[in-house]
Amino acid sequence: MSFMPALIVVDMQNDFCPPNGSMAIAGGRDIVALINQLVASPKFALKVATQDWHPENHVSFATNHSAPDNKPYESFVVVKNLVGHNPEETMRQRLWPVHCIQHTKGADIIEEIDQSRFDIIVKKGMDSRVEMYSAFTDSFGNLTAGSGGVNIDIDQVLKTHQITHVYVVGVAGDYCVKDTALGSARAGFVTYLIADAQRCVDPEGWPAVRAELSHGSVNVISLDSEEARQVLEI
């Protein structure tokens, strides 16, 4: 099989990183050196970053819902598949603190990440009506750029560049990283999630996340694995 790898660095944004992020993920900055090592590698044919890029009225923000069911991290809301024009299809979505509002510092990629090396930046979660963890689809699986609030159809871009393998890192491992990796695998790419280079909202749940990834044909690997060495300058 041919080997044309791409790197996707998920949501390394100010609001997701300590010490001041509105939704800071423990250890979010601890993975910067590993990510920069990957970003610097000339072995990737394409390097992609993603950004949550939400409007202020986004459905995932707890502040946009009424008490008592509006507690960040704790409350859930039932959303309809309005983007896919199938409102009878519904899903429970977790509510979050306000984060990554468009054109704010919190939405910026942290300055420690070398952005000059990215070929593409995918902005996602731009449609206020629907949650979008994955860079490939919204939570209902709506695929097309513009439907589900994404500025770039990353599936099409990867295929245009004849990418065969996708490596996924970033935050959060149990949400946007996981769903981006699963989306990549569903799109037909051999997909690796580098466990050393991710951090979770709920670290205790990582074993269950790994099982879900494995079931979804995503390979969870370590930085010292043969698969990682293929794309690193050692």
Q: Which residues are catalytic?
A: 11, 124, 176
Residue whose C-alpha is closest to residue 50's, from 123, 131, 151: 123
User: Residue 62: how many CB atoms within 10 A of its CB?
Assistant: 19
- Residue 204 in 3-state DSSP? helix
What token pair was written down for 64? 């946009």
* CB hemisphere CA count around 125 (13 angstroms): 26
Preceding peptide of 68 cis, ω within 30°: yes
- Alpha-carbon distance of 74 to 79, in angstroms, equals 16
Looking at residue 55, the DSSP 8-state letter turns out to be: -
6: β partners: 46, 166
Q: How far is CA 178 from CA 110, 114, 133, 183, in A?
A: 20, 23, 8, 9
Preceding peptide of 172 cis, ω within 30°: yes
